[in-house]
Amino acid sequence: MSATRSAPPNMNRTGSYVKFSDKLTGTLEDITKLINEQKEAIDTIQEIGIQLTTAIGTLHTMTVKYAGVVNNILDMLLPILQKFPLVPPKLVDMATKMERVTQKIIDNQEKTSKTITDIDTGLKTGDVSRLKGYSGELQKITQAFTAILPEINK
């Protein structure tokens, strides 16, 4: 009596296994489905990033411009204030602090401008590796400007 055996599913001549191609195809289909489901959110986040970069760039340009104006005025005025005996010491101290703050803003201008420009380019071109490189730079810039805040509030 000769019995015919049929191979169970996932069985072939070499035994039972899951084909790599089936596994990868399923994974790629899942990834594609996930991206398509989240496409609007991803695109919205990118658009917000571009708009925030533009806003920060504009704010930075304005800040540097007015810091330069204030710094130039203080460079001329501070020596006079320090020599004039009727000027209250608090006013001289405040003007000195303002001069230090504006100078720090001016000193950070080049690095900050480059970072903003490069991030904007990375967002607009979809260059994620470029963006990853600037996460640390943004933290450093934030720390530099955050360090200025206590001087302003003194």
* 82 within domain boundaries: yes
Question: pLDDT value at position 15?
Answer: 65
Question: pLDDT value at position 152?
Answer: 66
Q: What is the pTM of this model?
A: 0.69
Residue 71 structural domain: 54-153
Q: Are 57 and 124 in contact (CB under 8 A)?
A: no
* 14 within domain boundaries: no
Question: pLDDT value at position 2?
Answer: 45
| Number of domains within the chain | 1
The share of the chain scoring above pLDDT 70, in percent, equals: 88
The 10 Å Cβ neighbour count of residue 25 is: 11
Mean pLDDT in each 10-residue stretch from start to end of the chain (154 residues)? 47 66 77 89 93 95 96 93 89 92 92 93 90 86 83 64
Question: pLDDT value at position 4?
Answer: 47
- Tokens 């599913």 appear where? 9
In sequence order, which residues have a C-beta less than 8 Å from that of residue 43 and are 6 or more positions away? Answer: none
* 3 within domain boundaries: no
Question: pLDDT value at position 29?
Answer: 84
* 107 within domain boundaries: yes
* 72 within domain boundaries: yes
> In the structure, how many helices (H) and strands (E) does the chain have?
5, 2
Question: pLDDT value at position 7?
Answer: 45
* 73 within domain boundaries: yes
- What secondary structure letter does DSSP report for 16? E
Question: pLDDT value at position 96?
Answer: 92
